[in-house]
A and B are shown apart, each in its own frame.
Chain A
Amino acid sequence: MIGSQQSVLEQAAAECRAGHYVEAWAIAGSDARARTYVRYHAGDLEGALSEARAAAADPWLSSQATEIALALHRGAVAEASLAAWAAAGDAQTALAIEAAQRDLGELRATERAAQSGIRRAHWINALACALALLFLLRCARPRA
């Protein structure tokens, strides 16, 4: 295929496959899909997530944002991106959306478990402090 007939994304992807990320970035220009693709394949996941979220109306970018946010354990971002993706999704992407929903469910469950752990720890620490204080005050009183 002649270069000029390829889309910007295809040209950038070809450069990425060759390991030429600087060239790929130059080709990507202001194309949000290509910019996301190049950053993602160069290993700049944070950068790729920012690029993908900047153009949230694009279902393909929403799918990329969902995938990257899940990889980065960003539950809230993944949820928002998945909602946008699901709203624009078609039959072809239904399975992928379902899989992402499962992954998101697991991630959210881990986040909830972490929050529960923190709450539990706060209660135990506070209770231990109160008990120790009461005990020390009681013991510090002079003998009758």
Chain B
Amino acid sequence: MSAPRPTRAGWILALVFASGAVALVLELSAVRLLAPWFGATSAVWTHVIGVILLALACGYLLGARLARGSTPLRSLAIVLWLAAASTAWLPACAAPVARWFVPQGLALDEAADVLRWGSLAAALLLFAPPTFVIGCVAPLASEWLERVGGSSAGEAGGRVLGLSTLGSLCGSFATTYWLIPELGLTRTYLACALLLGALALLASLQARRAGAELALSLVLAAALFGSRWQRPAPVAGEHVLEELETAYQSARVVEREDGMRFLQVNEGFDSFQSAWQREPGLLPDGYYYNTFALPAAWEPGRTGVWRTLVLGLGGGSAWRVIEGTLADGRTLEGDGVEIDARVVELAERHMDLRESPGRRVFAGLDGRTALAAPGAGYDQLIVDAYANQVEIPPQLATLEFFEAAARKLRPGGWISANVGGFGLADPVALALARTAARALGARVLLLCVPFSRNLALVARVGEPLPEPGSAAFLGIAHAGLARLASQVSLPGTWRFVEPDAEPVLTDDHVPIERLQERSLELAAQARR
């Protein structure tokens, strides 16, 4: 066995570092690749992480077997070529694989089982192969260090694990803050494949062999030219104005033939984040934003400025709807909080979102954090924050959140929240309403949004809510809002939820994912 040669050990440690980085890039970007078809829920994250851990574990064991062979360096070269080629083809394979499980035109409530099992199967087909072969790298590199570099087994293993983990650390930060926002998904995968290919070439040169390597390099080269990620096309009659990758999601603005624009994130299912039409005011039937304009209309005696705090501003739809329905002499002011700063940029370019002296936009801030900031006395707090398309962020659903929200409001101020759900008995909606009722010490109102599967939660601090169908509820000057109030006054389209002794959602225990799963199951049962 040759004596230790630090310079020869250096390149293999660099290789280990790079493969560790690529493993994390694959893991963190995997959900982004699947999100247009399966969403980016906690379940999808769990499946992707689980598949990658399983594949890595199997890869480590296979690498251990290969390390017993006479040419570990050649094995290393081949697994790196395989990793490069399989990574490079990921963008091109994502759409066909996903479509194999999720047919077009499926609504969210039809998709519960497809989401659960399809996302797992898609993750297996797409991400198990590259991570399996990447898993082989560490044991093969350790073996080579031990044989050629002269290290002991423990020393070689420790150095490989340390460098691999540091690579993963760098890969995780680079994915979120640079690769995906700057390069997008396709070029991120191709860059990873190129890096793995370069390392494979280096290993092949060191091993002085070329056979299967040549064929694999051709597969890689073909992928570099031909592998492109196909996002789902907009539905007929819509065209894309702009699309980009943000640190949180794929985002795009589409325009319909009638001029309406929609901000969509991850483009999955039948959801959108914001809607825009040329003139401020009520949107057509079916848009829950219209319900945000009701509280101002229920206080006709209040004049001057109507101050709002919007958590989950998106493209600013809530502001445009309220602005267009306020009575003469009243003006809209307030603060809007949006966690994704690039969504705000899109909205500024395509949805007339503007700051003004009385209206401030806080981009890049979480809604819960914003509640801790100074400032209070708002007339209305609007919660329109959805994460991963279908999930209410847990930190915006708890008793502590609603208590903090109440402190931001003037006496008699209003809380309006958009809640995705399936009817007035929906487990998520009920849990949220019960929690808000407990926090405020008063009953809250759930309204079924007409022509929609959304529910609107309405609560008030220190004063009673108007009862649907009553003169206070229906006596609205604005004709469109009066019509909406009348629509949501029919029996079976509203309910009060009283504060009671039932368990509520707290920061300590907020099983929102479980409730959302239950909600989808009940919706699926109702369909049968």
Binding site for B on A (CB under 8 A): 19-22, 25, 38-39, 42-47, 73-74, 76, 106, 110-111, 113-114, 117-118, 120-122, 124-125, 128, 132, 135-136, 139-140, 143
State whether A42 touches B128 (Cβ < 8 A): no
Q: A21-B487, A25-B490, A44-B492 are in contact. Are A120 and B103 (CB under 8 A)?
A: no
Residues of B within 8 Å of A122, CB to CB, are 117
Instruction: Return the chain B residue nearest A139 by Cβ.
Output: B61
- Docked Cα-Cα span, A117 to B104, in Å, equals 11
Residues in chain B near residue A106, CB distance under 8 A: 105
Please report the total number of B residues contacting A with Cβ < 8 Å: 51
Residues from chain B with a CB closer than 8 A to the CB of A111 are 110
Q: Cβ of B58 and Cβ of A42 under 8 Å apart?
A: no
Residues of B within 8 A of A (CB): 54, 57-58, 61-62, 64-65, 68, 100-107, 109-111, 113-114, 117-118, 120-122, 124-125, 128, 285-286, 423, 448-452, 469, 474, 479, 482-483, 486-487, 489-493, 527-528
Indicate if the CB atoms of A76 and B118 lie closer than 8 Å. no
Say yes or no: A43-B452 contact (C-beta < 8 A), given A117-B100, A128-B128.
Answer: yes
Listed A/B pairs (9) with beta-carbon separation below 8 Å: A19-B486, A21-B486, A74-B527, A110-B104, A118-B117, A121-B114, A121-B121, A121-B122, A139-B64
**Whole-angstrom distance from the CB of B109 to the nearest CB of chain A?**
8
C-alpha gap A39/B449 in the complex (Å): 13
Which residue on A lies nearest to B109, using beta carbons? A73
Measured between beta carbons, the chain B residues less than 8 angstroms from A110 are: 103-106
Contact A43 B285 (CB under 8 A): yes
Q: Please, which residues of chain A bring their CB within 8 A of the CB of B483?
A: 19, 21
- Known interface pairs A20-B486, A117-B114, A125-B121; A132-B450 also in contact (CB < 8 Å): no
Question: Using a Cβ cutoff of 8 Å, how many contacts connect chains A and B?
Answer: 110
CB-CB under 8 A from B120, the residues of chain A are: 121, 125
Name the CB-closest residue of B to A74: B527
Question: Once the chains bind, are B118 and A118 in contact (CB under 8 Å)?
Answer: yes
CB–CB A43/B107 < 8 A: no
Contact A73 B101 (CB under 8 A): no
* A43–B450 touching, CB < 8 Å: yes
Neighbouring B residues of A21 by C-beta, 8 Å:
483, 486-487, 489-490
Question: Which residues on the B side are within 8 Å of A143 (C-beta)?
Answer: 68
Q: Are A22 and B474 in contact (CB under 8 A)?
A: yes
A-B contacts besides A118-B114, A121-B120, 4 pairs, CB < 8 Å: A44-B450, A110-B104, A117-B103, A121-B117
A19, A39, A114, A125: which contacts B490 (Cβ < 8 A)? Answer: A39
The answer to whether B118 and A42 touch across the interface, beta carbons within 8 angstroms, is no
Known: A42-B490, A44-B490, A118-B118. A124 touches B450 (CB 8 A): no
Q: Nearest chain A CB to B284's CB is how many angstroms away?
A: 11
A113 near B103: Cβ-Cβ < 8 Å? yes
Cβ contact within 8 Å between B493 and A44: yes
* Cα distance A12–B113 in the bound complex, in angstroms: 41
How many Å lie between the Cα of A34 and that of B487 in the bound state?
A: 15
**CA–CA, A128 and B82, complex, Å:** 20
Q: Which residue of A lies closest to B125 (CB)?
A: A124
Contact across chains for B286 and A43 when beta carbons are under 8 A apart: yes
Name the one of B57, B62, B100, B492 contacting A47, with C-beta atoms under 8 angstroms: B492
Q: Could you say which of A106, A121, A139 has the most chain B C-beta atoms within 10 Å of its C-beta?
A: A121
Contacts of B448 in A (CB 8 A): 43-44
Would B486 and A125 count as touching, CB distance under 8 A? Answer: no
A121-B101 contact in complex given A22-B469, A47-B492, C-beta closer than 8 Å: yes
Known contacts A120-B101, A122-B117; is A42 also within 8 Å of B487 by CB?
yes
Question: How close is A25's CB to chain B, nearest CB, in angstroms?
Answer: 6
In the complex the two chains form, what is the Cα distance from A47 to B448 in whole Å?
11
Pick from B61, B106, B117, B479: contact of A125, CB under 8 Å: B117
Neighbour of A124 across the interface among B124, B492, B528, CB < 8 A: B124
